[in-house]
Amino acid sequence: MISKAKISFIKSLHSGKGRNEAGLFIAEGTKITNELLINQNIKIQSLYATNDFLEENNLLSNNNFEVFEISESELQKISLLSNPNKVLVIAEICKNKFDVSKLKNKLTIVLDNVQDPGNLGTIIRTMDWFGIKNLVCSETTVDVYNPKVIQATMGSFLRIKTHYVNLENFIKEYFSKYKYNIYGTLLNGKNIYKEQLTQEGLIVFGNESKGISSNIENFITNKISIPDFSKSKSIDSLNISIAAGIVFSEFKRTT
Amino acid sequence: MISKAKISFIKSLHSGKGRNEAGLFIAEGTKITNELLINQNIKIQSLYATNDFLEENNLLSNNNFEVFEISESELQKISLLSNPNKVLVIAEICKNKFDVSKLKNKLTIVLDNVQDPGNLGTIIRTMDWFGIKNLVCSETTVDVYNPKVIQATMGSFLRIKTHYVNLENFIKEYFSKYKYNIYGTLLNGKNIYKEQLTQEGLIVFGNESKGISSNIENFITNKISIPDFSKSKSIDSLNISIAAGIVFSEFKRTT
């Protein structure tokens, strides 16, 4: 049995305000939970699971976190998924201290005001596939601990370091330190298929409808575009996470 | 004012059963509506819009469809979006007769049991960008007229021909007729970056968790993969619409 107070506490973590106050976030489903259980960096606070998950995973003793057995219908009450999958975990938000010098000799992804949780989660999942480890987001970008982001990463949030910063100050400091290329995807950029792409620097993606904001665009040294093969005037853009996938592929293809 | 009967009729179109019975589907928002208004192939049955949309678009006379002015709160009642955008259109489902001979000398995308509406919509939007015009889906694939698919296409469903068929019979007929390559994205395929990709044939994508079904995999002549750069054992796949975007880019890049 799960108490009403617990249900209301878990639901409070659906919002950014609730997560900040508690320093906790929600992850759901067997795949992400199994990754959390073996992860050394994230501390689990509590785990709510159905009987069959608990039997499969032998979790009822020797844990540093509370374990609650709940019914399917109780899981439905605390879950954000339309089809909850056996288990919901509450874990501690881990704030990495950000240090620009960690980005030396690396490709780093920068998101300027990305709003859709599915897009952020999918971008993190795709970065993981392509072995790109660092993500820097504007303070206006959707929270990586939003449950919809966590689910869309399919566990990849555990392997990608995500930082929220004042983007303009960050880019200034980064560029003055390294002088690496600062790539930005813009509609009027150069054909990405024909560019010499470096294996260090920033790749900036902008907001879903407004693109990269003008104060950030000023710092872009290399404007790039994915060519439009449509010959149609109606289509105006690719989905941002699709564009990111193609751009990551182009940067990695030639290595 | 919108009647209760109309609200319940519009809501019936959220389900596949309702759409099939009525032969109608829903599209929302100013971008898609403006494309529908100038499109010659799709017949609009009725349009529900707020006063400011109607004033901007001068729709109150000389239309072949009914126009209803509604309030923001009425729009909220009939909309599926969390932030409805001024207008909702009901239009007639258009069943194109399917003819394999239309696929001669072309690349055609094939989806085997894709379930997520966002994935199908995004794949259609991305096909449009890359100038790929024909999509063949298994009968088990999510309905292209599902409102979430329509919204995710951002209007591209108007330019892509989508057909639902018995996939096994289709591929047999297609291959015996054309002998084109049948590409399939599988985890154990050849590195797509190193393959000679043809500009005609099929590219098959499978279900989000199960991949391409075994009876369809038998027909694949060219198994391809996007290389995994992660060096991590935990990540098992790219999101299917991301994989599709990268694959389309690879097929078009070299043309």
DSSP reduced 3-state for A191: strand
C-alpha to C-alpha distance for B132 and B136, rounded to whole angstroms: 12
pLDDT tens string A145-175: 999 999 999 999 999 999 999 999 999 999 9
Tokens of A184: 């930005």
Contact yes or no for A230 and B35 at CB 8 A: no
**What's the whole-number average pLDDT of chain A?**
94
- Beta-carbon contacts of B95 under 8 Å, excluding residues fewer than 6 positions away, are none
Describe the strand order of the beta sheet including A87-92 as a list of residue ranges.
A24-28, A87-92, A44-49, A66-69
Q: For chain A, where do the domains classified as CATH 3.40.1280.10 start and end?
A: 100-253
- Beta-carbon contacts of A176 under 8 Å, excluding residues fewer than 6 positions away, are none
Residue B211: DSSP 8-state: B
Tokens of A16: 């950014």
How much is the ipTM here? 0.94
Contact yes or no for B125 and A155 at CB 8 A: no
Tokens of B127: 């096909």
Query: From the candidates B81, B209, B230, B249, which should be mutated to test the interface with A, based on the most A CB atoms within 10 A?
Result: B249
Helical residues (DSSP H) of chain B, grouped into ranges? 4-12, 16-22, 30-38, 51-57, 72-78, 117-129, 147-153, 167-178, 214-217, 240-253
Helical residues (DSSP H) of chain A, grouped into ranges? 4-12, 16-22, 30-38, 51-57, 72-78, 117-129, 147-153, 167-178, 214-217, 240-253
Q: How confident is the model at residue A254 (pLDDT cuts 50, 70, 90)?
A: confident
- Beta-carbon contacts of A210 under 8 Å, excluding residues fewer than 6 positions away, are A113
Query: What pLDDT, on a 0 to 100 scale, did the predictor assign at position A161?
Result: 95
The residue with tokens 């290399």 is A222
Query: What pLDDT, on a 0 to 100 scale, did the predictor assign at position B82?
Result: 86
Contact yes or no for A155 and B252 at CB 8 A: no
Residues of chain A in contact with residue B228, where contact means CB-CB under 8 angstroms, are 129
Q: Which of B128, B227, B242 sits opposite A126 (nearest CB)?
A: B242
- Which residue in chain B is spatially nearest to A125 when comparing CA positions? B238
- Which CB contacts under 8 angstroms, 24+ apart, belong to B213-218? B213/B112, B213/B113, B215/B168, B216/B112, B216/B167, B216/B168, B216/B171, B216/B184, B217/B184, B217/B186
C-alpha to C-alpha distance for A25 and A44, rounded to whole angstroms: 10
Contact by Cβ (8 Å): B36, B42: yes
- Residue A77 CA to its chain's centroid (Å): 25
Burial of B90 (C-beta count, 10 Å sphere; 0-12/13-18/19+): buried
Contact by Cβ (8 Å): A45, A66: yes
**CATH class of the structural domain A4-92:** alpha beta
Query: What pLDDT, on a 0 to 100 scale, did the predictor assign at position A63?
Result: 76
Contact by Cβ (8 Å): A160, A127: yes
pLDDT tens string A174-210: 999 999 999 999 988 999 999 999 999 999 999 999 9
C-alpha to C-alpha distance for B49 and B35, rounded to whole angstroms: 15
- Residue B133 CA to its chain's centroid (Å): 11
pLDDT tens string A58-115: 776 667 899 999 999 999 999 999 889 999 999 999 887 889 999 999 999 999 999 9
Query: What pLDDT, on a 0 to 100 scale, did the predictor assign at position A60?
Result: 61
Our separate counts of H helices and E strands in chain B read 10, 10
Distance (Å) from the alpha carbon of B31 to chain A's nearest alpha carbon: 10
Q: For chain B, where do the domains classified as CATH 3.30.1330.30 start and end?
A: 4-92
Contact yes or no for B235 and A131 at CB 8 A: no
C-alpha to C-alpha distance for A146 and B144, rounded to whole angstroms: 29
Is it the case that residue A29 has pLDDT exceeding 70?
Answer: yes
Distance (Å) from the alpha carbon of B141 to chain A's nearest alpha carbon: 18
Contact yes or no for B235 and A118 at CB 8 A: no
* Cross-strand pairs, A44: A91
pTM value is 0.95
**Mean per-residue pLDDT, A5-30:** 95
Query: What pLDDT, on a 0 to 100 scale, did the predictor assign at position B62?
Result: 67
Give the residue among A3, A9, A38, A1 at the shortest CA–CA distance from A25.
Answer: A9
Instruction: Divide the 255 residues of chain B into consecutive groups of 10 and give the mean pLDDT of each group.
Output: 91 95 96 91 94 84 85 94 93 89 96 97 97 97 97 94 96 97 94 96 96 97 95 81 98 88
Residues of chain B in contact with residue A228, where contact means CB-CB under 8 angstroms, are 129
Position with higher pLDDT, B188 vs A255: B188
- Which CB contacts under 8 angstroms, 24+ apart, belong to B29-32? B29/B81, B29/B84, B29/B85, B29/B86, B29/B87, B29/B151, B30/B85, B30/B86, B30/B87, B31/B154, B31/B155, B32/B89, B32/B150, B32/B151, B32/B154, B32/B155
Q: Up-side HSE of residue A35: CA atoms within 13 Å toward CB?
A: 19
Q: Which fold has domain A100-253?
A: Alpha/beta knot (3.40.1280)
Chain A to chain B Cβ contacts (< 8 Å)? 96
